[in-house]
Amino acid sequence: VNPTACCHHYVTFRFLLFYRYGIWPYGLFKKLGIPGPTPLPFFGTTLEYRKGIVDFDKNCFQKYGKIWGLYDGRQPVLAILDSTLIKTVLVKECYTTFTNRRIFGPTGMLKSAISIAEDEQWKKIRTVLSPTFTSGKLKEMFPIMAHYGKVLVRNVQKQVEKDEPIAVKDVFGAYSMDVITSTSFGVNIDSMNNPQDPFVKEVKKLVKFDIFSPLFILISVFPFLIPLLDMLNVNIFPNDALEFFTRSVTKIKEKRKRETRTDRVDFLQLMIDSQNLNISHEILTDIEILAQAIIFIFAGYETTSSILGYMVYSLATHPDVQQKVQEEIDSVLPNQAPLTYDALMKMEYVDMAVSETLRLFPFGGRIERVCKKDVEINGVTISKGTVVMIPPYLLHRIPEYWPEPEEFRPERFSKENKETMDPYMYLPFGAGPRNCIGMRFALLSIKVAIASLLQNFTFRPCKETPSKSLLLSCLCNISLRKQWLESKYCQTSNTKL
């Protein structure tokens, strides 16, 4: 036996095995008769995201229609834009077949967070947290939001009077940070004026993601490594930020145990109170409380500030809409009366403008559910382990449901139009039992900021403002409504939708 030939055959065999591993999942959609882009060995269709996820999805929709298959690394993903399929996945079969979201990698303690937890643990956490986001609880939290609405106005006014440029991302990021940290932990930061506060720095670390980082590429190609990475304490979230919040929340919890106050209404206190219930199956562990507190910051900070930036841009480039919004605010709150929860609930046109902003700029990315078993829905076969994905950015722009979809028209969401609207073609917060639990909170914080600002300011485009943009990189003027002092208002983030 020739040792060299044996070695050659062995290497060839190993290479073929490795190559087979790299292409093994990619025949699934072809076998099921589902069209889609051609995957590359190991990477699937992931490299197409370099052009932008939205552009990739848009090209697939134009080429393949309302259903197509793609591969994130080795993971089969079925994209759907059909209303009936969407309803079945998100609502009808949520508990039986499509309960869980996709886990992108090792998440450490955050595997207990409501947006990541699975099956029975998710149900328990959802049951405990749901009362936290009722209208009654939000009304109790409203004074905190209203306070930071006033802080937002003061911060903007200082910049306007100095005739200094305003970084929208910074201004709205500070507002979002202050609202979330105060309603989550009862911590008052004033992050606009204290940018070096540890809470501010660690939150910004927490929300930074790069899908082309070596770790994401590694787990995309070799997903079986995720449990090992978890054991090694390797995490897709920065460990130093997680450790900071672990220490902070533990410290706050211990301090509160020694207190006799009963008037706290923040998110953390409501979870601590749940531990005092005599219902064992509804008690959150310390780790679960910590995970919810951190994920609430992670989910709320970036999204709220981005939506506020897009809404201000939309109002600045549509002065007729802005005027209607201001007129409604002035009619509900004459003579710049203080903002109240009940007054905000009466502002129907403000609500319509927020809804239209969320249609054009849905902030949550793709909606995903993992299929637990082989199933057939309306003639479409979905295999066990497949991720079913809904891209809201495209869903909200299908012309047959949204005439002239690129136009900013709040009237789409009038009472009359909402009655005839297909609810599964508008999903800024998802739908069904696993929709965004913080939906009401997010909407309330956005409306507080907009109403507070438009009581005092008018947004106007300047010559640098593009007519349309997918980037928060436009310029417009902010004017004091009474004094008409002008200053450039700069949106500086380069984040693509």
In whole angstroms, give the CA distance from residue 50 to residue 56: 9
β-strands 457-461, 75-80: how paired? unpaired
Among 436, 391, 399, 403, smallest CA distance to 86 is for 391
Q: Residue 452 has which token pair?
A: 């507070």
Whether 312 and 166 have beta carbons less than 8 Å apart is answered as no
In whole angstroms, give the CA distance from residue 423 to residue 83: 9
Among 410, 389, 491, smallest CA distance to 78 is for 389
* Residue 182 CB-half CA count within 13 A: 21
CA distances from 469 to 91, 99, 404, 412 (A): 34, 35, 16, 21
- For 288-319, b/e burial (b = at least 16 CB within 10 A) is bbbbbbbbbbbbbbbbbbbbbbbbbbbbbbbe
In whole angstroms, give the CA distance from residue 149 to residue 248: 25
Whether 194 and 286 have beta carbons less than 8 Å apart is answered as no
CB neighbours of 11 closer than 8 A, spacing ≥ 6?
none
In whole angstroms, give the CA distance from residue 438 to residue 441: 5
Among 315, 345, 348, smallest CA distance to 453 is for 315
Among 204, 143, 205, smallest CA distance to 177 is for 204
Count of other CB atoms within 10 angstroms of residue 484? 9
In whole angstroms, give the CA distance from residue 60 to residue 81: 11
**What's the chain's length in residues?**
497
60 is in an annotated binding site: no
Whether 145 and 111 have beta carbons less than 8 Å apart is answered as no
- Residue in this structure with the two tokens 């200082």, named with its chain if needed: 158
Q: Is the dihedral of CA 361, 363, 366, 369 positive or negative?
A: negative
Cα torsion through 43, 44, 50, 55, rounded to 10: -170
Classified as helix, coil or strand, 284 is coil
Count of other CB atoms within 10 angstroms of residue 342? 9
> If residue 360 lies in a helix (H) or strand (E), which one and from where to where?
helix 348-360
Cα torsion through 437, 442, 444, 445, rounded to 10: 140
Positions at the binding site: 436
Positions at the binding site for heme: 436
